[in-house]
């Protein structure tokens, strides 16, 4: 990806880390500031989706889900809140499934409900900073996270539930993120923006 961006005339660096590790995320922000002089947009997409009926789900899986989805969002949001420059944007992710009450999604939906709460509160805590904080709530989207472990019959049924009759694409979601990150999204703040084709 870095090479593709450079080939197109852009500038990019790659840095990794555990989203739930505060030291590693601080280092990530440091790397961005060294390369670009500051941080203007943070898109916080890391997440895992472990599914099982609530009564049967292993507590280790619950802990893993909360560590990545809740603690990870919190850990990334802290330096974002401190270091985003005026005019900046923090964009979290919380799926539309939090509104659907689907069996087996209890831990995942609960973790993402926490992401929504953090998003709405942080937007208000950053009053006066000229930094927007929103969440994108995709519906079913044709990504490996969604498709993994599902039969084609199940995928087709879910796609058919949307009024538009299809799954979302990564490009659909990227356009929503680009809106929130760009000048057109500056008056959108403290919102959960559903990009789900009308499924919920």
Residue 114 forms part of a structural domain? yes
Identify the pLDDT of residue 149. Answer: 84
Q: Which residues are paired to 44 by β-bridges?
A: 92
Cα–Cα distance for residue pair 116/155, rounded to 1 Å? 26
Identify the pLDDT of residue 98. Answer: 85
Cα–Cα distance for residue pair 122/70, rounded to 1 Å? 14
Averaged confidence pLDDT in the chain: 94
Reported as a pLDDT band with limits 50, 70 and 90, residue 147 is confident
Residue 57 forms part of a structural domain? yes
What is the mean predicted confidence (pLDDT) over 179-190? 97
pTM of the model: 0.92
Residue 18 forms part of a structural domain? no
Residue 20 forms part of a structural domain? no
Percent pLDDT > 90 in the chain is 82
pLDDT tens digits, 74-83: 999 999 999 9
DSSP letter for 55, please.
T
Residue 113 forms part of a structural domain? yes
Q: Does 105 qualify as catalytic in the annotation? A: no
Q: Which residues are paired to 135 by β-bridges?
A: 92, 192
| pLDDT tops 80 at residue 72 | yes
Identify the pLDDT of residue 99. Answer: 84
Residue 4 forms part of a structural domain? no
Whether the Cβ atoms of residue 41 and residue 83 lie closer than 8 Å to each other: no
Of the candidates 29, 93, 105, 108, the residue annotated as catalytic is 108
Look up the CATH number of the domain holding residue 94. 3.40.50.720
Residue 23 forms part of a structural domain? no
115 or 7: whose pLDDT is higher? 115
pLDDT tens digits, 93-134: 998 888 888 899 999 999 999 999 999 999 999 999 999 999
| pLDDT tops 80 at residue 89 | yes
Identify the pLDDT of residue 148. Answer: 85
Domain span at 100 = 38-195
Number of domains the chain is built from? 1
Residue 120 forms part of a structural domain? yes
| pLDDT tops 80 at residue 200 | no
Count CB neighbours of 116 within 10 A. 16
What is the mean predicted confidence (pLDDT) over 43-69? 96
Reported as a pLDDT band with limits 50, 70 and 90, residue 199 is confident
């Amino acid at each position: 990806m870095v090479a593709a961006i450079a080939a197109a005339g852009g500038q990019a660096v790659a840095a990794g880390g555990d989203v739930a590790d505060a030291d590693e995320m601080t280092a990530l922000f440091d790397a961005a500031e060294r390369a670009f002089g500051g941080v203007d947009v943070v898109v916080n997409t890391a997440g895992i989706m472990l599914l099982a009926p609530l009564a049967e789900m292993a507590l280790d899986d619950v802990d893993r889900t909360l560590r990545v989805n809740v603690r990870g969002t919190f850990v990334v949001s802290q330096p974002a809140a401190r270091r985003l420059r005026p005019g900046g944007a923090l964009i979290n992710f919380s799926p539309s499934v939090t509104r659907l009450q689907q069996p087996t999604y209890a831990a995942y939906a609960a973790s993402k409900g926490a992401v929504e709460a953090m998003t709405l509160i942080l937007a208000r805590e950053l009053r006066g900073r000229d930094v927007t904080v929103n969440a994108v709530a995709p519906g079913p989207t044709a990504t490996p996270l969604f498709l993994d472990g599902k039969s084609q019959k199940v995928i087709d049924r879910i796609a058919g539930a949307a009024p538009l009759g299809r799954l979302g694409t990564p490009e659909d979601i990227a356009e929503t993120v680009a809106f929130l990150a760009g000048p057109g999204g500056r008056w959108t703040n403290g919102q959960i923006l559903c990009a789900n084709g009308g499924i919920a």
